[in-house]
Amino acid sequence: MGYFRDCIEQMEGYTPGFQPKAADVVKLNTNENPYPPSPRVLEVLRRFPPERLRRYPEPLGDTFRAAASSVLGISPENILCTNGGDELLAVCTRAFCDARRPMAYPQPTYSLYPVLAKIQGCPAVEIPREGDWLGELACINAPLTIVCNPNAPTSDFVPVEQLDRLASALSGVLLIDEAYADFAPDNALRLVAKHDNVIVLRSFSKGYSLAGLRFGFGVAQPAMIEGLIKVKDSYNVDAVAAAAAAAITDQPYFRANVERIVQERTRLTESLRLLGFEVPDSQTNFVLARCLNGSAEGIYKALVEKNIYVRYFPLPGLYDKLRITVGTPEQNKILVTALREILSQKGKPV
């Protein structure tokens, strides 16, 4: 066509997980929360004044910043509200990277990072996530280093002390993507007070059951937040998304919801192992199951035929694996029964 910058012309876009229209499917492909959001959020939405839609929203999401700062024990100036965690990743790429300023990250990880690098036209340095990969990232010392922790799609967790050491070693920014931190044993928020180069990403799509609201936030020192504000859209978070403030103040509901998923995660992991899958312990709301008895792609397709959606990534290191979101006990039972059927169909290669 010739209209686009070369890097856009040549790139593949990000492939979002399939969003089936039918409601009667078992949807375990995009790591949504299977339970509804807090009743407090629903109440805010029910009473939402139309006048607030007529006017522009708060440019910095001050209602959320105030609510989150008291829950997290940080100051509102430490918080940047974003249109999902994804927008924070895009803002950071725009803020720190260009043709001479690469980003670096381990691989495999969240498949959006290389896409953002391509859009920005910056080099992406990919370090295999094995051996001393944190040491290698320190040696690369990129202007922007991204570490997803717990990592997607591998579901494992790196001790925060190792990220602390990485932050000290880097002269660029360390963006710690904690989209799945709600389900993990620890998190890196405390590193923000210690390091002026650390940004922690949080999402409301997972533990808070609000993927449809599109809300996330970043935590960093105030000078870093000030810089990122220059890069974001003026009104990046809409008025309705301020309902996220109601979600974060309902910590008892949030914790109970996360606990249900963590318990179900153990049951799902055990069931999949009994079926012959290799499943590492997960610190997220999904599991990564390696298919030892049949092809992952074949099993993925056979599940789709039964209206069950999981995620298959045709990418290096992932060809033999399926990423499966932890659903309700009922959904997981349907999945496990279907897998048992698929795997026992003798003579039918999957």
Ligand X SMILES: Cc1ncc(COP(=O)(O)O)c(C=O)c1O
Give the interface segment with ligand X, choosing from 78-86, 98-106, 228-236, 255-263 (CB under 6 A): 78-86
Q: Does 342 bind ligand X (CB under 6 A)?
A: no
Toward ligand X, which CB reaches closer, 57 or 85?
85
Strand arrangement of the beta sheet that strand 198-203 belongs to? 79-82, 216-219, 198-203, 173-177, 144-148, 103-107, 124-128
Q: Does 309 bind ligand X (CB under 6 A)?
A: no
Give the interface segment with ligand X, choosing from 84-92, 242-250, 271-279, 309-317 (CB under 6 A): 84-92
Is residue 334 packed enough to be buried (19+ CB in 10 Å), middle (13-18) or exposed (0-12)?
A: middle
Rounded distance, CA 194 to CA 182, Å?
A: 22
Q: Does 85 bind ligand X (CB under 6 A)?
A: yes
Shortest Å, Cβ 85 to ligand X: 3
Question: Which tokens in the block code for residue 122?
Answer: 């910056």
Toward ligand X, which CB reaches closer, 253 or 286?
286
| Burial annotation 105-116 (CB, 10 A radius, 16+ → b, else e) | bbbbbbebbbbb
Select from 38, 107, 187, 203 the one that contacts ligand X (CB under 6 A).
203
Rounded distance, CA 107 to CA 148, Å?
A: 10
Tokens 């914790």, located at residue: 255
Give the interface segment with ligand X, choosing from 80-88, 96-104, 126-134, 251-259 (CB under 6 A): 80-88
Toward ligand X, which CB reaches closer, 203 or 221?
203
Q: Does 86 bind ligand X (CB under 6 A)?
A: yes
User: Beta-strand (E) ranges in 170-226?
Assistant: 173-177, 198-203, 216-219
Q: Does 275 bind ligand X (CB under 6 A)?
A: no
Spatial contact of 246 and 43, defined as CB atoms under 8 Å apart: yes
Mutual orientation of helices 84-96 and 222-231 as an angle, nearest 10°? 90
Q: Does 211 bind ligand X (CB under 6 A)?
A: yes
Select from 26, 29, 31, 105 the one that contacts ligand X (CB under 6 A).
31
Shortest Å, Cβ 277 to ligand X: 21
Q: Does 217 bind ligand X (CB under 6 A)?
A: no
- Report the sign of the C-alpha dihedral through residues 311, 312, 318, 320, in that order: positive
Shortest Å, Cβ 237 to ligand X: 12
Toward ligand X, which CB reaches closer, 203 or 331?
203
122 Cβ partners below 8 Å, 6+ apart?
Answer: 93, 97, 98, 99, 101, 102, 103
Select from 91, 134, 138, 148 the one that contacts ligand X (CB under 6 A).
148
Q: Which residues bind ligand X (CB under 6 A)?
A: 31, 84-86, 110, 148, 152, 177, 179, 203, 205, 211, 216
